[in-house]
């Protein structure tokens, strides 16, 4: 059974926008980060780590933008134990309602010797001085001992105690390389709680990576041992094998509240919509058998399972789809559905759209309903995401055509309209219809970005399904994602490529680093 007082509230520190976005292929543009931040706020996280301000001017700008928007939870900026990093964090978080400076410094022998090239005493002094420095600007300071699990426990206790004395309100014990197993991780957390001076004055946090597939198990084991905060990401995204999955940690604690005698402040009905949003903006799909939010999480194919669920749900379901925001009511909507039914469906799906965004989404829904007999929930999610996270269009698709065949090669014709009103039409040859169209677009815009990823799939089943295309482009050392949907896969590809191009043009024109 868990250690410590009963009926605790476990704080959820979400690092999707920082640790999650650092994962290869998970980069987001500023507008996408803002949409994710809004959804995390609605989800009810206690802290969202918006980025690493000193890592780049772009990260500083995104943290600053999010800090100015989010009002209902703390916004954190990650900083190395360096004054210049802390200064960047101070600047980025100046507009936050509840700013948190999150400082980290490695404490394991292998990191201190080979990465930092510092003695333990030097690390100790730098950790304490950095917390003192940050405390001058921000009342809420968190200190993390990077690679804490592979560190000497007594050294970690000493640093944590000194960091708390210097003003840290949270001390974080990470398993940075995902090396721990649950029993020993829980034992280590107990040791830290028992041997750290003044630990009762601070929140004890854990941050587990998933290299051995144990991030959630280790995080929950830490909760049983008395940890007060869990650091995690939506869908478990993150560097290497990822981080502890927020939805699994939250629902694990909630479903087994009888065991943990604890809960979180998360509005679990927002979990599914948040998961879908993060999947869409990063282009990283959720595996079908993913716990809590996978497509198969509440599917029952075996006859004995189906019979049991129909007779009594609890035979095979330990939580309801509705508890994580998946509506059971699959009301069919199509071209005869009105605005009221459409708005009700958005609410059922936990999607937000109002004002001009709602007008645009509803118009696109009507257009799609003319092409498809039934518009699915996934179709609606795609429409909302396409409008909500869109950047201003520098180039807009006006017309396209392709001519291709086994003996013909491929030619693509495209006409784009610039935001200043001028339009340009161009024909290009290529290795296939997509290649020819992309070449024509590059010629029109006068740039030739590298296409790093091109991925296409169906949003739903059936020949009338919308095609969903994800692209990633690179230009001058920078990267942008693009996403497009259409019942025509070539058109969805064009929309995705233009989405990435428009993100690039917008950020370059705005001077965003």
The dihedrals phi and psi of 374, each to the nearest 5 degrees, come to -125, 135
CA distance 100 to 75: 6
Q: Is residue 435 pLDDT above 60, yes or no?
A: yes
What is the mean predicted confidence (pLDDT) over 12-40?
90
CATH, residue 435:
3.30.160.270
pLDDT of 314 over the 80 cut: no
Residue 490 lies in a domain: yes
pLDDT band at 252 (very low <50, low <70, confident <90, very high): very high
Residue 376 CB: number of other CB atoms within 10 A? 18
Q: Give the residue among 209, 257, 275 at the shortest CA–CA distance from 9.
A: 257
pLDDT tens figures, 148-200: 999 999 999 999 999 999 999 999 999 999 999 999 999 999 999 999 999 99
Domain assignment of residue 361, yes or no: yes
Q: Please state, for a pLDDT cut of 90, what percent of the chain lies above it.
A: 66
pLDDT value at 230 more than 50: yes
- Whole-number Å distance between alpha carbons of 98 and 68: 10
266 and 359 part of one domain = no
Do residues 322 and 337 share a domain? Answer: no
pLDDT tens track for 327-386: 765 556 777 778 888 888 887 777 777 777 888 888 888 888 887 777 777 778 777 776
* 150/250 same-domain check: yes
Q: What is the pLDDT of residue 388?
A: 65
**One domain for residues 99 and 179:** yes
Same-domain check for residues 306 and 181? no
The pLDDT value recorded for residue 30 is 86
Judged against a pLDDT cut of 50, whether residue 204 lies above it is answered with: yes
In a domain, 402, yes or no: yes
The answer to whether residues 447 and 468 belong to one domain is yes
Average pLDDT, the chain: 90
Mean of pLDDT values over 97-121: 98
pLDDT at 89: 98
Give the torsion sign (CA, 137, 140, 146, 148).
positive
pLDDT at 302: 46
Considering 114-128, 286-300, 331-345, 449-463, the range whose residues carry the highest mean pLDDT is 114-128
The residue segments making up the domain with residue 125 are 8-282
**Which of 367, 388, 409 is where one domain is finished?**
388
List 424's β-bridge partners, or say none.
Answer: 416
Q: Are residues 187 and 76 in the same domain?
A: yes
Q: Residue 399: is its pLDDT beyond 80?
A: yes
Collapsing DSSP to helix, strand or coil, 219 comes out as helix
The span from the CA of 202 to the CA of 134, in Å, is: 16
- Look at residue 287 and tell me if it is in a domain: no
Q: Where is average pLDDT lowest: 57-71, 462-476, 486-500?
A: 462-476
Mean pLDDT of 249-260: 97
108-122, 299-313, 316-330: segment of lowest average pLDDT:
299-313
In terms of domains, do 465 and 372 share one? Answer: no
- What is the per-residue pLDDT for 318? 86
What 3-state class would DSSP assign to 25? coil
On whether residue 288 sits in a domain, the answer given is no
Which of 58-67, 73-82, 306-315, 501-510 bottoms out in mean pLDDT, i.e. has the lowest? 306-315
Residue 306's pLDDT is 43
Query: Is residue 44 located within the same domain as residue 130?
Result: yes
Mean pLDDT of 63-84: 98
The continuous run of DSSP H or E covering 106 comes out as strand 99-106
Tens digit of pLDDT for each residue in 259-306? 999 999 999 999 999 999 999 888 788 999 999 999 888 864 444 444
**Helix, strand or coil, per DSSP, at residue 508:** helix
CATH number at residue 240: 3.20.20.70
Q: How many Å apart are CA 58 and CA 392, to the nearest integer?
A: 18
- Concatenating the DSSP letter of every residue in 265-299 gives S--GGGHHHHHHHHHHHH--PPPTT-TTTSTTTT-
Asked if residues 181 and 214 have their Cβ atoms less than 8 Å apart, the reply is yes
What total of structural domains would you count in the chain? 4
Report how far apart, in Å, the C-alpha atoms of 223 and of each of 12, 112, 202, 205, 271 are.
Answer: 12, 28, 15, 9, 21
**1 found inside a domain:** no
* CB of 174 closer than 8 Å to CB of 149: yes
| CA atoms in the 13 A half-sphere facing the CB of 35 | 27
Tell me, yes or no, whether 164 and 138 share the same domain: yes
Q: Of 353, 388, 423, which one is at a domain's C-terminal end?
A: 388
Q: How confident is the model at residue 309 (pLDDT cuts 50, 70, 90)?
A: very low
Q: Do 51 and 186 reside in the same domain of the chain?
A: yes
Q: Would you say the C-alpha torsion 474, 441, 437, 281 has a positive or negative sign? A: positive
Q: Is the same domain home to 181 and 305?
A: no
Burial class of residue 362 in the structure, from the number of CB atoms within 10 Å of its CB (0-12 exposed, 13-18 middle, 19+ buried): middle
Task: Enumerate the β-bridge partners of residue 103.
Answer: 79, 143
């Amino acid at each position: 059974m868990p250690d410590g007082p009963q009926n605790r509230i476990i704080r959820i520190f979400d690092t999707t926008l920082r640790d999650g976005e650092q994962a290869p292929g998970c980069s987001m543009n500023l507008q996408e980060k803002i949409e994710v931040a809004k959804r995390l706020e609605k989800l009810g996280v206690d802290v969202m780590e918006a980025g690493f301000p000193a890592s780049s001017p772009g990260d500083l700008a995104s943290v600053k933008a999010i800090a100015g928007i989010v009002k209902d939870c703390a916004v954190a900026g990650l900083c190395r134990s360096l004054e210049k990093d802390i200064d960047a964090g101070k600047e980025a978080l100046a507009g936050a309602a509840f700013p948190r400076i999150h400082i980290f410094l490695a404490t394991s022998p292998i990191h201190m010797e080979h990465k930092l090239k510092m003695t333990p005493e030097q690390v100790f002094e730098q950790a304490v001085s950095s917390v003192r420095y940050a405390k001058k600007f921000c009342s809420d300071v968190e200190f993390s001992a990077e690679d804490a699990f592979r560190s000497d426990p007594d050294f970690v206790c000493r640093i944590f105690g000194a960091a708390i004395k210097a003003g840290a309100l949270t001390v974080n014990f990470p398993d940075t390389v995902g090396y721990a197993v649950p029993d020993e991780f829980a034992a280590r957390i107990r040791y830290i709680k028992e041997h750290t001076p003044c630990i009762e004055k601070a929140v004890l946090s854990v941050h587990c990576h998933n290299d051995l597939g144990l991030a959630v198990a280790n995080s929950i084991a830490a909760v049983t041992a008395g940890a007060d905060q869990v650091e995690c990401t939506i869908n478990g995204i993150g560097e290497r094998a990822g981080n502890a999955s927020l939805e699994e940690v939250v629902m694990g604690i909630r479903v087994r509240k009888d065991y943990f005698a604890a809960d979180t402040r998360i509005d679990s009905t927002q979990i599914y919509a948040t998961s879908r949003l993060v999947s869409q903006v990063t282009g990283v799909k959720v595996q079908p058998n993913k716990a809590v939010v996978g497509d198969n999480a509440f599917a029952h194919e075996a006859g004995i399972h189906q019979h049991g669920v129909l007779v009594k749900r609890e035979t095979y379901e330990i939580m309801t789809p509705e508890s994580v925001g998946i509506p059971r009511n699959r009301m069919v909507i199509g071209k005869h559905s009105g605005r009221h039914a459409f708005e009700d469906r958005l609410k059922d799906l936990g999607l937000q759209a109002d004002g001009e965004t709602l007008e645009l989404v509803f118009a696109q829904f009507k257009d799609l309903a003319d092409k498809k007999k039934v518009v699915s929930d996934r179709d609606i999610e795609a429409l909302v995401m396409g409008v909500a996270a869109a950047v201003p269009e520098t180039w807009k698709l006006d017309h396209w055509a392709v001519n291709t065949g086994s003996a013909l090669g491929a030619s693509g014709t495209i006409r784009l309209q610039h935001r200043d009103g001028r339009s340009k039409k161009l024909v290009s040859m290529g290795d296939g219809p997509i290649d020819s169209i992309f070449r024509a677009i590059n010629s029109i815009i006068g740039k030739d970005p590298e296409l790093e990823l091109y991925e296409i799939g169906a949003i739903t089943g059936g020949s009338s399904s919308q095609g969903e295309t994800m692209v990633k482009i690179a230009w001058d050392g920078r990267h942008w994602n693009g996403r497009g949907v259409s019942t025509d896969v070539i058109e969805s590809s064009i929309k995705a490529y233009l989405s990435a191009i428009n993100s690039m043009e917008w950020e370059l024109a705005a001077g965003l680093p």
